[in-house]
C-alpha cells in the first residue's frame, strides 16, 4: 500500500515569523505608500521599517510592493496581503477598545456607519432604545455618505452600515436588507429671496445661486446631477462640496445657498422655521437604504440586536416616547430623552457625545456620533 506524505502548508511558518508589528507596518504602508511615513506611524526608525518589510517579503517568498520614485505600490498579491493587514489592525483595534471598556466595567461596544438620511430617524431611535436596555454599551456612529461608510465597512472599520450600494458590484462584497426610502427636498434659509418669490420656480431659476452639494461619489449627488441633465442644465458654478450634514445645515442658515437634502434631515429645521422648502420638484427619490453587512460574516450579538431594532422602527411597530430637546433636531430629540448631551466641535467633524447613565448602574456608557 502506498502512503502519501502530508505536505506542510505555509500557514504555520508565516504565523511563527510575522509579528503584530509586521502587520501594523503593512497597514501603515497601505495609507502612506512610503517607508518613512509608515515608520513614523508605527514608531520605529526607517531602517528598522526597511528591514521589517524585507523580513515580511522573505516570509511570504514574493514581493508585496513595487518600488517607484514616488513610493511603494502593492503588487496584485500584495494588495491581498495589505487588505488583510488593514482588516486585522481594525479588528484588533476594536477588540482592544472593547476589552478596555469591559475592564472599566462597561458591556462591550458597537461601531456602525450611517448615512445622514437614516441617522435622524431609524438610527437615533434604535440607539436610544438599545441604550435604555444596555446603558453601559459603548456605541460609536460614523456619519458619512454611502460611499464613505461602504469603504469603512469593507476595511472592517465598522461592523455594519446603514446606507445603500454605490456601485453595481458591491453586492459581491456586502449583503443588503432594505429599511426605507429617502424623500429629497430642495431647501433654503428663511428670508431667502427664492422663498419670497411668488412665481413658479424651476430648477433653472436656482442656477445662479450658491449651492451646497454632497461629494460627486455620493448617491444623492448622482441623483441631483441626473436632475440637472434632464433639465439640460450644467452643474452650478458656485458650489461648496460638503459631506457633513451639520456643516451643510449651518451653511444653509448663514448664507444664500440652496441644497437638496433628505426630508428626515431638514424636518425639524423646517418646523422651527429655520429653513423653508422650495417648491422645486425633484423628479425621483433616492433608492432605498438599508443594512449593509460584510458577505459571509456573522454579526455580534449586540449588532444583531441593533439591526432588529432598525427593522422594528422601519416597519412602524411601536414607538419610543421621547421628550423634545430644543434646537437639537431629531437626533437631539431622540437621544436627549434618555441621555445627557455634550457637544464638541472638531476641525473636520462635529462630534456629539452622549453620556448615558443607567438608572441601575453607577457608570456611564457612551455614544459618540461623528459626522
Instruction: Indicate whether 246 pLDDT > 90.
Output: no
Q: Over 90: is that where the pLDDT of 235 sits?
A: yes
3-state helix, strand, coil in the chain (%, to 5): 45, 20, 35
What mean pLDDT do residues 97-108 have? 68
* pTM (global) more than 0.75: no
Q: Distance between terminal CA atoms of the chain?
A: 67
What pLDDT, on the 0 to 100 scale, is given for residue 237?
Answer: 93
Query: Each residue of 6-17: pLDDT tens digit?
Result: 445 565 666 677
Q: Is the pLDDT of residue 281 over 60?
A: yes
- 264 vs 122: CA distance, rounded Å: 10
Higher confidence at residue 40 or residue 346? 40
* Full strand arrangement of the beta sheet holding 259-262: 259-262, 184-189, 275-277
| Domains present along the chain, CATH in parentheses | 11-84 (1.10.10.10), 107-116+134-181+288-370 (3.40.190.10), 184-284 (3.40.190.10)
pLDDT for residue 122: 87
- Reported confidence tier of residue 327, pLDDT bands at 50, 70, 90: very low
How buried is 214 (Cβ within 10 angstroms: 0-12 exposed, 13-18 middle, 19+ buried)? buried
Distance of CA 254 to the CA centre of its chain: 26
Mean pLDDT of 122-145: 87
The answer, yes or no, to whether residue 255 has pLDDT greater than 90, is yes
- Euclidean distance between CA atoms 58 and 17, whole angstroms: 10
343 pLDDT band, cuts 50/70/90, is very low
CA atoms of 2 and 307, how far apart (whole Å): 55
Whether 23 has a pLDDT exceeding 70, the answer reads: yes
Confidence class for position 306, pLDDT limits 50, 70, 90: very high
Residue 259 pLDDT = 95
Q: What is the mean pLDDT of the chain?
A: 79
pLDDT digits (tens, 9 = 90+) for 148-182: 899 899 888 899 999 888 888 888 999 999 998 87
Q: What are phi and psi of 330, to 5 degrees?
A: -65, -40
Q: Could you tell me what percent of the chain has a pLDDT over 70? A: 77
Say yes or no to pLDDT of 134 above 70.
yes
Alpha-helical regions (H) of 104-218: 124-133, 146-154, 193-196
Q: What was the pLDDT predicted at 336?
A: 37
φ/ψ bin of 295: left (φ > 0), alpha (ψ from -120 to 50), beta (otherwise)? beta
Report, as an integer, the average pLDDT of 210-238.
91
What is the DSSP annotation of 280-309?
---SSPEEEEEEEEETT-PPPHHHHHHHHH
The answer to whether the beta carbons of residues 219 and 164 sit under 8 Å apart is yes
24-38 pLDDT, tens digit each = 999 899 888 889 899
Do residues 101 and 327 touch, judged by C-beta distance below 8 A? no
Amino acid at each position: 500500500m502506498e502512503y502519501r506524505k502530508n505536505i506542510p502548508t505555509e500557514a504555520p511558518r508565516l504565523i511563527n515569523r510575522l509579528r503584530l508589528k509586521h502587520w501594523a507596518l503593512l497597514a501603515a504602508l497601505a495609507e502612506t505608500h512610503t517607508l518613512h511615513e509608515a515608520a513614523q506611524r508605527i514608531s520605529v526608525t526607517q531602517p528598522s521599517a526597511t528591514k521589517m518589510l524585507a523580513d515580511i517579503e522573505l516570509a511570504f517568498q514574493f514581493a508585496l510592493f513595487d518600488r517607484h520614485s514616488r513610493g511603494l505600490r502593492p503588487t496584485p498579491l500584495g494588495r491581498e496581503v495589505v487588505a488583510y493587514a488593514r482588516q486585522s489592525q481594525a479588528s484588533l483595534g476594536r477588540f482592544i477598545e472593547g476589552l478596555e471598556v469591559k475592564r472599566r466595567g462597561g458591556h462591550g461596544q458597537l461601531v456602525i456607519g450611517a448615512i445622514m438620511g437614516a441617522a435622524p430617524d431609524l438610527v437615533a431611535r434604535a440607539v436610544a432604545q438599545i441604550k435604555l436596555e444596555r446603558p453601559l454599551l459603548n456605541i460609536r456612529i460614523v456619519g458619512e455618505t454611502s460611499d464613505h461608510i461602504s469603504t469603512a465597512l469593507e476595511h472592517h472599520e465598522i461592523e455594519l452600515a446603514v446606507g445603500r450600494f454605490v456601485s453595481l458590484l458591491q453586492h459581491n462584497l456586502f449583503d443588503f436588507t432594505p429599511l426605507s426610502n429617502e424623500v429629497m427636498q430642495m431647501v433654503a434659509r428663511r428670508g431667502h429671496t427664492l422663498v419670497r418669490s411668488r412665481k413658479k420656480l424651476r430648477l433653472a431659476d436656482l442656477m445662479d445661486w450658491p449651492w451646497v452639494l454632497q461629494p460627486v461619489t455620493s448617491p444623492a449627488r448622482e441623483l441631483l446631477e441626473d436632475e440637472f441633465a434632464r433639465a439640460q442644465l450644467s452643474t452650478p458654478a458656485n458650489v461648496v462640496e460638503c459631506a457633513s450634514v451639520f456643516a451643510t445645515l449651518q451653511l444653509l442658515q448663514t448664507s444664500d445657498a440652496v441644497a437638496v437634502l433628505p426630508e428626515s434631515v431638514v424636518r425639524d429645521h423646517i418646523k422651527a422655521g429655520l429653513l423653508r422648502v422650495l417648491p422645486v420638484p425633484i423628479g425621483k427619490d433616492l433608492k432605498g437604504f438599508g443594512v449593509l453587512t460584510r458577505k459571509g460574516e456573522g454579526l455580534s450579538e449586540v449588532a444583531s440586536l441593533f439591526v432588529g431594532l432598525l427593522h422594528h422602527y422601519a416597519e412602524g411597530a411601536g414607538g419610543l416616547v421621547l421628550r423634545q430637546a430644543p434646537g437639537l433636531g431629531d437626533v437631539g430629540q431622540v437621544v436627549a430623552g434618555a441621555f445627557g448631551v455634550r457637544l464638541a466641535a472638531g476641525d473636520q467633524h462635529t462630534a456629539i457625545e452622549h453620556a448615558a447613565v443607567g438608572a441601575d448602574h453607577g457608570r456611564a456608557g457612551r455614544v459618540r456620533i461623528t459626522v
